[in-house]
Amino acid sequence: MSNMSRPPQRPIKRLLVANRGEIATRILCSARELGIETHAIYVSGDASHAARADHVIALASPSTFMDIDSLIDIVKKHKIDAVHPGYGFLSESDVFAKRMWEEANAVVLGPGWGVLASTGDKLKARALAAECNVPVSPALHHPTNNAEEVLNFASKTGYPIMVKAIDGGGGRGIRLILDEASLPAAVKRAVEESPSKQVFAEKAAVDGFRHVEVQIIGDGKGGVTHLWERECSIQRRYQKIVELAPSVVTDRKLIGRVIGDALKMARHISYFSLGTFEFLVNPTTKEYYFLEINPRLQVEHTITESIASTDIVKAQLLLSQGADVSNCGLPRSARNPEVPPPTHSIQLRITAENVQSNWSLSIGKITSFQFPTGNGVRVDTHLINGHAAVVSADFDSLIAKLIITASSWEDVVRKSQRALADTTITGVKTNLDVLRAIVAHPDFLAGQCDTQWLETNQRELLATGLQITEQTTNRLSALGLETTGSSSGPSLTNVNTMFRKGDAWSLTLDTPNKKPGSGHKPLPHHIEITRVLRNEFPISISADVLFTSPASGSSARPQTTPYTITLTSTSSSAAAATSHHRHGNPADPSHVCIPFPGKLVEVLVDEGDVVKEGDVICVVQQMKMELEVRSPRSGRIGWVMEVEDGDEVAEGMLAVVVEGEREAKL
């Protein structure tokens, strides 16, 4: 067994989907269509995806999704013989794949631990590209966590450079460094976000480059094929937001060479299962460089399915059971890399983010939603009508994916505009504003968006998006249809139920396992508010109350006692743990506020320190990304929040008070 690099192909009887949200829902659908018995795992408050499974298994906490020992125990207990990891979580862990096979005799869907170990590591993947004579950019060829080594590399190659975690994905552990001054902090943040705490550096290819990736499918027996390419150039902080297939780069000979190189690399290692080979392509200079391999199912696999008229999750399940590329459900027509498919498809990721507030995570409860319908419109989501869904800091912010397909690029852009206008989500802020602005922009229609386009045009897009959303809202309001558009309704961190002096309730407590017909009826207690001390409900509330107990006997009188009651939420909402902290005043120039909820990584200043405008005050982690909070002015630190590293912080919380230079002298 030690010489194996992946499990043998064999029938699947019982499949565990070791993921959540829309991707768990997506995988469960394909498995059910193949007649496979399905198992889903979930945590309290995040269970909607599990409704599609034959069997559901509750987890103790969100961290269990990353706990290999616990997942192995679940597989053994339920006699599961295959696990689909989806994307994220443990999907690129060679240790997970190998241990699951050796300890639980269960197959983890994917290329196997051998390929995961060699391609999930970005440096090893670059070495494979070089071995296959595929272009790569100049790089530091060994992993490091030392900023001095990166500085030495930069001094030889020149700026800009890119620092990347050697493992992981989702845009984490990546920093573009433009000069020497920003290098130490950027390297530190990238190292902290890397699962292995190791990074490497490469010469940055940014100006005019497009992000083009090739969908590869292999059967491990020498059969390797492609399903054309996707373009993912519209991204922010290396996280993809809008993806399209095929690429809008018009030079098909250039794209053909990229697809050919991806096939060459995949054949060299006899690739098995699904894989995405990513490149940076400059359509003007005709340069292109290999970037990395994602040896798993991608978030944006949907648009490949649309242009190829196939189900690649089903193909992946069939390959694991012994099929080859000729009989796993792929289209039988020839696919010439230089000839694009006859259809175009766009994926729009809808996320719970407040784009007007630095794209911060919007924590709260989704109370209602409406998604578009019509020809060429597909919606992938875990949301279920009539069941509220909670967005918390525990998981990714992805709510749904709109996949729009049409016979021409112009048609698919127009259809995307219509579909987004027909989409509403209430209860949390979303990125619908900016999605609407992107697909309405002339550059998008002209196919002129490179990897820097979104961040370069962000201010214009945010303003345009608000205008488009307002027009949609006004049109629906004129029809008497209520909508809050995209950046909808208050999140839980802003909800506030009115409580007043004199509010009173009758309170009864009863045991749930009382025998029927026992005749016992609990006596009511009474509670009345005499003074509201603090009201941040449902996160917390503190009030003086009068609590009246019922009389215990025929001659006894009810007993009234004054109390101070404090209720504090223990849910996963970041604000639940932070409501007692001081909130900043945006109108006060001395206040530096936390712009988004998350976990505090570190505070870099103390009272009395002198800071310059732009200095980093603290670092907050959100969705595994470490984000810096900077001072908007120069001065002296007069006050610092008392929060421990690792504690939750809320949006709007006061981080520090920076006294201006004049105030400091006084």
> In sequence order, what E strands does 389-436 have?
389-391, 398-406, 424-426
Q: How far apart are CA 41 and CA 45, in angstroms?
A: 12
Give exposure, 70-82, as e/b (b: 16+ Cβ within 10 Å).
Answer: bbbebbeeeebbb
Residue 587 is encoded by which pair of tokens? 């109108």
> In sequence order, what E strands does 178-209 have?
199-203
Q: How far apart are CA 343 and CA 245, in angstroms?
A: 8
The answer to whether 205 touches 153, Cβ cutoff 8 Å, is: no
Which residue in 652, 648, 490 sits closest to 570, CA to CA? 648
The answer to whether 196 touches 225, Cβ cutoff 8 Å, is: no
Helices 21-33 and 312-320 meet at what angle, rounded to 10? 60
Active site residue 335: no
Helices 94-104 and 68-77 meet at what angle, rounded to 10? 30
Which residue in 327, 340, 338, 330 sits closest to 309, CA to CA? 330
The answer to whether 10 touches 368, Cβ cutoff 8 Å, is: no
Question: What's the gap between Cα 204 and its chain centre?
Answer: 24
The catalytic residue among 6, 189, 296, 378 is 296
Residue 135 CB-density burial (10 A; 0-12 exposed, 13-18 middle, 19+ buried): middle
Residue 445 is encoded by which pair of tokens? 């229609």
Q: How far apart are the first and last CA of the chain?
A: 74
Residue 209 CB-density burial (10 A; 0-12 exposed, 13-18 middle, 19+ buried): buried
Residue 12 is encoded by which pair of tokens? 């699947």
Give me the active site residues, please: 296
